[in-house]
Amino acid sequence: MIGSRTTRNIPCIVEIEQTPDSLHAHVQLEGFDPGPGDKVIVHGAPTQIRFGERGTFHCHATLIHAGLFARQTTRLLSYLELTELYEIGFSAGSAS
């Protein structure tokens, strides 16, 4: 069906770091890769850690697969935004 969405509850690994060298949070889904238009909701991961720390946490996530229409719309919009970057990045003009 065009507008249908499916969900999966899957384990994930969350890596959070807040050090002088890096400030980031990464989520790695175990066994699944989200596609265009998919949404991921992580459950049970800490939202912050103290400065100078890094941590790896095993959590669960809900992966909501986009329907066919949402997936195609996301692909089209991302292509259009990419071509907009080409126009801005490579346009001839004088620097002021």
Nearest to 9 by CA among 38, 33, 40, 37: 40
At position 96, the amino acid (one-letter code) is S
pTM over 0.75: no
If you search the block for the tokens 């909701």, which residue do you land on?
Answer: 41
Nearest to 41 by CA among 7, 81, 15, 67: 7
More confident site: 87 or 59: 59
pLDDT over threshold 80, residue 94: no
Query: Which pLDDT tens digit goes with each residue over 41-59?
Result: 999 998 889 999 999 999 9
Sign of dihedral through CA atoms 27, 72, 76, 73?
negative
Query: Which pLDDT tens digit goes with each residue over 19-45?
Result: 999 999 999 999 888 889 999 999 999
More confident site: 6 or 11: 11
Q: What is the pLDDT at residue 15?
A: 94
Instruction: Specify whether the CB–CB gap between 34 and 10 falls below 8 A.
Output: no
DSSP string, 14-41: EEEEESSS-EEEEEEESS----TT-EEE
The two tokens of residue 9 are: 């509850």
**In the chain, domain spans:** 7-89
